[in-house]
């Protein structure tokens, strides 16, 4: 077991991001494999009429709605971040600041990967529809807007989960619950912004929506960072 690999070459922030990536990459791969298989499997069954649902069958663009599960997945990973990893890093001589920044880097990386994988789903969906010979509307949205929106949403969900986990780690259950409500309120706000038909909005509106999403994510990150800086290392969470 060689432990000297690249020792001391990485900055503390990069060490955090690297070890988080090492710990969670398999989970990410498994999630996307299972999720896409189930998603396209169900879609295929609808197309073949095995599952009778005309509304879905005729609506087209199902893949647009495939961001909900990855968001929840990232939310859960975020919740686990402080609870599962904070002790390990700080007890190994990493500052809270480096843990926070490394965690952000990791959150950004996961968000980018999920965004790219989601974008890759569009041609796959098109291919499946073509092969199956189904007649469906194939008017896809502006993929650049979709990509930026998803990136911000994934990032926001991960950081929202992270804030929830940090709240319950740092505080007793009541204050933890308040932090949880705050995070959920911000996420609901973000969802409401994207619920307006994004791709159909005017360019100026789209810009404002993306700006608000970015600001909401920044707000979550800022609050979480403030909590992390003063957090004491605990053996067990006290509820």
Pick the closer one to other proteins by CB: 79 or 146. 79
Per CB under 8 A, contacts with other proteins among 97-116 are: 97-98
Whichever of 17 and 180 has its CB closer to other proteins, that residue is: 17
Of these, 50, 54, 135, 230, which contacts other proteins (CB under 8 A)?
Answer: 230
CB of 141 to other proteins, least distance (A): 39
Q: Do the Cβ atoms of 126 and 74 come closer than 8 Å?
A: no
Minimum CB–partner distance for residue 6 and other proteins (Å): 7
Would you say the C-alpha torsion 98, 103, 104, 108 has a positive or negative sign? positive
Stretch that binds other proteins, among 37-45, 62-70, 204-212, 231-239 (CB under 8 A): 231-239
Closest CA to 146 of 225, 218, 83, 61: 61
Q: Sketch the per residue contact string, 35 through 74, with other proteins: x for CB under 8 A, - otherwise.
A: ----------------------------------------
Beta carbon nearer to other proteins, 27 or 37:
27
Among the listed residues 47, 43, 34, the one whose alpha carbon sits nearest the alpha carbon of residue 64:
43
Q: How large is the angle between the packed helices 173-195 and 203-229, nearest 10 degrees?
A: 170
What does the radius of gyration of the chain's CA atoms come to, in whole angstroms?
20
CB 183 within 8 A of CB 167: yes
Task: Name which position in 42, 56, 61, 84 contacts other proteins (CB under 8 A).
Answer: 84
Which of 74, 94, 180, 216 lies at the binding interface for other proteins (CB under 8 A)?
A: 94
Using CB under 8 A, which of the segments 79-87, 128-136, 167-175, 193-201 binds other proteins?
A: 79-87
Tell me how far apart the alpha carbons of residues 130 and 110 are, in angstroms, rounded to a whole number: 31
Rounded to whole angstroms, the Cα distance separating 159 from 157 reads 5
Residue 235 CA to residue 217 CA, distance in Å, equals: 29
Q: Which of the ranges 67-75, 90-98, 148-156, 206-214 carries the binding residues for other proteins, by CB under 8 A? A: 90-98
DSSP assignment string, 141-160: --HHHHHHHHHHHHHHHHHH
**Contact flag: residue 4 with other proteins (CB under 8 A):** yes
Nearer to other proteins, 82 or 149 (CB): 82
**Please, how many CA atoms are within 13 Å of residue 127, restricted to the half-sphere of its CB?**
6
Q: Site residues (CB under 8 A) for other proteins?
A: 1-8, 10, 12, 15, 18-19, 22-23, 84-85, 87-98, 229-230, 232-233, 235
């Amino acid at each position: 077991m060689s432990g000297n690999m690249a020792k001391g070459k990485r900055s503390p922030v990069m060490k955090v991001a690297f070890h988080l990536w090492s710990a969670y990459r398999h989970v990410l791969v498994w999630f996307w494999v299972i999720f896409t298989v189930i998603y396209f499997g169900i879609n295929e069954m609808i197309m073949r009429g095995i599952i009778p649902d005309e509304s879905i069958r005729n609506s087209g663009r199902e893949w647009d709605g495939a961001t909900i599960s990855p968001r929840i997945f990232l939310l859960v990973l975020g919740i686990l971040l402080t609870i599962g990893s904070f002790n390990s890093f700080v007890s190994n001589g990493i500052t809270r600041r480096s843990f926070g920044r490394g965690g952000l880097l990791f959150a950004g990386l996961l968000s980018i990967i999920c965004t790219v994988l989601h974008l890759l789903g569009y041609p796959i969906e098109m291919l499946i529809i073509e092969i199956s010979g189904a007649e469906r509307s194939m008017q896809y949205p502006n993929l650049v807007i979709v990509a930026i929106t998803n990136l911000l949403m994934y990032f926001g969900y991960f950081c929202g989960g992270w804030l929830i986990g940090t709240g319950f780690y740092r505080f007793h259950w009541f204050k933890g619950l308040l932090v949880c409500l705050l995070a959920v309120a911000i996420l609901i706000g973000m969802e409401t912004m994207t619920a307006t038909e994004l791709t159909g909005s005017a360019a100026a509106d789209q810009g404002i929506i993306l700006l608000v999403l970015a600001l909401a994510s920044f707000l979550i990150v800022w609050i979480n960072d403030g909590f992390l800086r003063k957090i004491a290392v605990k053996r067990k969470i006290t509820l």
